[in-house]
Structure 1
Amino acid sequence: MLRKVETYWPSTGKILLLGAGGITGRYYVQLLLSNGYEVFAYDEKFHPERISSDQKTWQEQIQKKYNNIHFIFDLKNKPEVDGVTLSPGFPLSNEIIQHYQKNNCPVFSELEYTLAQLPNPLVAITGTDGKSTVTALTAHLINHANVGLKAIACGNYGIPLSQLLVERIDRDTVLVCEMSSYMLEKSRNLRPKIAVFLNASADHLNRYSSFQEYVETKRNVLGQSPKNTILITQETLWEDWPNRPSVEKLILVQKKDNTIHSDSFSIAYEENQRCLFFQDKKMVSIKDLPLQGSHNEENILFALEASSHLIGSLGGNIHVPPRQNAKSRQSRFLLSSRTKLKIWCGMAVHPCTARVGGVSANPMGMFSPVFVQALKSFSPLPHRYEVFVQGEDFTAINDSKATTTQAVLAALKSTPLPVVLFLGGRSKGEDYSLLKEKLTDLTKHGSVILAFGESAGEFQKALGSLIHKTFPTFLEALQYAANHFFGNNRSYTWLLSPAATAWDEFSNFAERGDFFKKFVTEMLHQSNFIDKV
């Protein structure tokens, strides 16, 4: 049943769904059908000459269950419908949408439709780089806080929002939702408890008219009721925020010299080691955590702030009867009228003043240990600075998710030299000359830059002689590197950090990353080099 929120769609009738062929689109089709709509599911992937066997099987299964579904692959004859909706990624500028808007047909997004039916606590996370890592880590921290809460990563990373409704997710589950700029273009009923805006650099400029438009779209993550939302963002982003809204609480992540700090946490040097601090208390050395790289230090702070404030925002006081406090040290953490959770001393609570046995208490000692363990048990996401081969003479790093120049620059900060850097794919309209200063320094230290794919010419034009060689395909670039920059009594780090999407040769960045890992692994086995790594 829909929540009592403003809706932007008809309650019954015919719905045209644009972009129905992806994972999100499939669940969205099922959700609309189960809610009684007649659905016209459109995607070019449904063309008889291009449809995959998997797509065909899925369509047959849906048609057996529902008789009010129509799969279409072109819209020359546009159906008469009562509403138009779109999966994330389908551009609002498309002439199909404009046609229906001119005819006063309501247009709404999957995000809007699903949020109206999801009363769950919501953490909304956006940014150019690091979204998926922060989303996964925030959910992991909440799940391991030992306060009885369950969190799930969803949205642009993890489980599609439509799938949560199809599978009837529990109302108390915390939704930690990655939101791309595409999703935020139509987000009229977004009201997160926690909003996280990580960073912004030039991205998707083939979709937006300017960088400013892209950033303005990202700011939609704050939602429609900022006074009830805790905002966590970079200090520089907040400084540039026009007409700064009044929020429930503002938490700024700031960088100064070699220190990164936020509301309750900081990362700085202690005895020549990078360490994580809670207030002034050292929690752990960064080298002991699985998340490595300077870019991940910021990700850790964002996730810690988001998870701890989410726990705190759902709760009230910690009440401990004096007698019980003296014996078992057991306390009760009252989260809501629906949920009562037990918490033991030594477990995580929000870093604010709590009341224990009627007396104010500083929970710092209770907070630290459980989150350190959670940070240590977190598995880094694949294709995001994934060091899958490491040895004295050869290292290989799969950073296929790095589709922006800023992501590449972040990766290079942590990469041992000399590096063989693979750049290429399908351009998103970025200015690749932003890499010039860093790559000039790299080449002075024996590093090699190889460009491949559709964007190879763009890299060559922007970076000139810094590009050692260009290749039509990724495979050709890898084969060349294997023949010239592997072995020969030289030590290299191969880094796939492409600064472009994978769509010229692959279905997605994961497929490209897997291709890279497979090539390197086979190369090592064939050369008997595997014993040295």
Structure 2
Amino acid sequence: MNVLIIGKGKSGLSAGKLLEKNGYSVFYYDDREKSEIPEDVSFVVKSPGIPQSHPIVNYFREKNVEVIGEVEIASRYMKGKIVGITGTNGKSTTTALVHHALKKLWKGKVFIGGNFGIPVSDFAPETDETSISVIELSSYQIEDLRNFKCDVSTILNITPDHLNRYETFKEYAQAKLKLLKLTKQNVILNADDRLLKDFLKEANVLAFSMEKPADAFFDGEKIVVKDFSLPVSSLPVRGYHNIQNFMATLLILRSLGVNLHDAVNALQDFKGLEHRLEFVKTVNGITFINDSKSTNVDSLEKALLSFDKVILIAGGKDKGIDFSPLKNLIRERVKKAFFIGETGKKLKKLFSDATETEFKMTLKEAVLSAYNAAEKGDVVLFSPGCSSFDMFKNFEERGKIFKQIVEELK
């Protein structure tokens, strides 16, 4: 039987190898090269970066050929339990936290993948009845799910993002919310999220909150989960958003039968992820933080809430997102802001009445200017709030270059 893979990136190639091992004849289509497209295709596997409106996708859908994603096809070869984690922000850190604890506490094999950077097809054949797979899911991946089922899932938040791909915010939100119907056991939701509040009364929902009592909540000093509490001062990662990530992690682990005291002990040596509010170094009393993973307004807001006396570096590719809700926070916490990239001049103008702003042509210029503007005790926060594709290959490259520049400071 013939299968067509659309997209020759990491996930597409991984799905192709999995299917070839299971007796399929695999063909690849990529926009960047001339590709053979067989007519007699059993089904199509679409890479997450390929939009639903792509002509080849439409062509096969009109022929009633099933079009699915890499996670969907991989899940058909999986055994054991699955944890699905999504949200506009925090999903990578939460995925890593859950995986870190389970690696120490779960009695079977533990896998991690999905949007985390490891195709599920890479490890699907290795799963067994006792294993557990922790899968980070983007909205693009969830769109293409059909029969995939999680045992436990979480939707951490839904805020505007990817509006350069989705026609409306509602369309983006619906992609995330699809995970509710794909979960067999508990769904963990953020009770403070405007869009998720409507689902809190569902029978299988557990909630976490920064604002009010819930299955897990923050009382101002501690995370409280029924008869268990944890001072936030003892968390292995810092930041307002990481309190939320940690609450979601504890509810996921409890849903899987993990003792929370054991879970917290297992997580004490968790170091956080690169490019997520990552401490780089202190130079002459000025602290540099790399938050290159910040690609939307919500992630920039959470970064700003984590620090006072901020010299901000932000900007990047324009995704059509409204940054104006950040004005008050910028006014309260940012001493000076340097903006770069496609959105740089727009953001400079937008926030000019909230703080002192400048536009810089390169990241290096912005870092050097921020260093010169900062005083002892200040934090130079690189939290772009935009994607990187106008100036860099990805957020990882952007973050690494920021760190290299900081390391060269005298």
Q: Taking structure 1 as the reference length, what is the TM-score of the superposition?
A: 0.71
Determine whether 1:499 maps to 2:391.
no
Deviation, 1:303, is: 0.3
Determine whether 1:194 maps to 2:152.
yes
The higher-RCO structure (CA 8 Å, 6+ apart) is 2
Q: For the residues of structure 2 that align with 1:42 and 1:411, how far apart are their CA atoms?
A: 40
1:233-260, Cα deviation, whole Å (9 max, x unpaired):
0224587566x5995522111232xxx6
**Partner of 2:337 in structure 1?**
449
Q: For the residues of structure 1 that align with 2:288 and 2:252, how far apart are their CA atoms?
A: 32
Determine whether 1:459 maps to 2:351.
no
3-state SS in 2 of match to 1:25: helix
1:316-349, Cα deviation, whole Å (9 max, x unpaired):
xxxxxxxxxxxxxxxxxxxxxxxxxxxxxxxx53
Contact 1:222 1:229 (8 Å CA) reproduced:
no
3-state SS in 2 of match to 1:190: coil
Q: Quick one: structure 1 residues 85 and 200, their matched pair in 2 at CA, closer, same or farther if it must change by over 3 Å? A: same
Question: Which residue of 460, 477, 484 maps to 2:366?
Answer: 477
* AA in 2 matched with 1:411: A
Q: Quick one: structure 1 residues 301 and 490, their matched pair in 2 at CA, closer, same or farther if it must change by over 3 Å? A: closer
Q: Quick one: structure 1 residues 170 and 281, their matched pair in 2 at CA, closer, same or farther if it must change by over 3 Å? A: closer
**Partner of 2:174 in structure 1?**
216
Deviation, 1:279, is: 2.6
Q: Quick one: structure 1 residues 33 and 461, their matched pair in 2 at CA, closer, same or farther if it must change by over 3 Å? A: farther
Q: Which runs of 4+ in 1 moved over 6 A?
A: none
Work out the percentage of aligned pairs sharing the same amino acid. Answer: 31
Q: Structure 1 residues 505-514 or 176-185, which shifts more? A: 505-514
**Partner of 1:100 in structure 2?**
60
Q: How does 1:251-290 map to 2 (within 5 A)?
A: 251-256=206-211, 261-263=213-215, 265-269=216-220, 274-283=221-230, 285-290=231-236
Deviation, 1:127, is: 0.6
Q: Quick one: structure 1 residues 24 and 481, their matched pair in 2 at CA, closer, same or farther if it must change by over 3 Å? A: same
Measured on the aligned residues, the alpha-carbon RMSD in Å equals 2.5
Q: For the residues of structure 2 that align with 1:387 and 1:416, how far apart are their CA atoms?
A: 15
Deviation, 1:208, is: 1.1
Q: For the residues of structure 1 that align with 2:271 and 2:226, how far apart are their CA atoms?
A: 26
Q: Quick one: structure 1 residues 238 and 408, their matched pair in 2 at CA, closer, same or farther if it must change by over 3 Å? A: closer
Q: Quick one: structure 1 residues 519 and 453, their matched pair in 2 at CA, closer, same or farther if it must change by over 3 Å? A: same
1:449-472, Cα deviation, whole Å (9 max, x unpaired):
111112213323533454622123
Q: For the residues of structure 2 that align with 1:201 and 1:85, how far apart are their CA atoms?
A: 28
Q: For the residues of structure 2 that align with 1:462 and 1:421, how far apart are their CA atoms?
A: 14
Which structure: larger Rg? Answer: 1
Q: Quick one: structure 1 residues 81 and 469, their matched pair in 2 at CA, closer, same or farther if it must change by over 3 Å? A: farther
Determine whether 1:17 maps to 2:27.
no
Q: How does 1:373-392 map to 2 (within 5 A)?
A: 373-390=265-282
Q: For the residues of structure 2 that align with 1:240 and 1:134, how far apart are their CA atoms?
A: 18
* AA in 2 matched with 1:510: E
Q: How does 1:306-321 map to 2 (within 5 A)?
A: 306-311=252-257
Q: For the residues of structure 2 that align with 1:385 and 1:161, how far apart are their CA atoms?
A: 27
Q: For the residues of structure 2 that align with 1:239 and 1:509, how far apart are their CA atoms?
A: 27
Structure 1: unaligned runs, 5 residues or longer: 1-11, 48-72, 312-347, 350-366, 528-533
Q: For the residues of structure 1 that align with 2:89 and 2:273, how far apart are their CA atoms?
A: 13
**Partner of 1:396 in structure 2?**
288
Q: How does 1:23-422 map to 2 (within 5 A)?
A: 23-44=10-31, 73-74=33-34, 78-82=37-41, 83-145=43-105, 148-165=107-124, 168-224=126-182, 228-237=184-193, 249-256=204-211, 261-263=213-215, 265-269=216-220, 274-283=221-230, 285-311=231-257, 348-349=258-259, 367-368=260-261, 370-390=262-282, 393-417=285-309, 419-422=310-313
1:168-211, Cα deviation, whole Å (9 max, x unpaired):
33442211111100001121112211121111111111111111
Q: Quick one: structure 1 residues 237 and 247, their matched pair in 2 at CA, closer, same or farther if it must change by over 3 Å? A: same
Contact 1:459 1:467 (8 Å CA) reproduced:
no
* AA in 2 matched with 1:233: L
Deviation, 1:481, is: 3.1
**Partner of 1:357 in structure 2?**
none
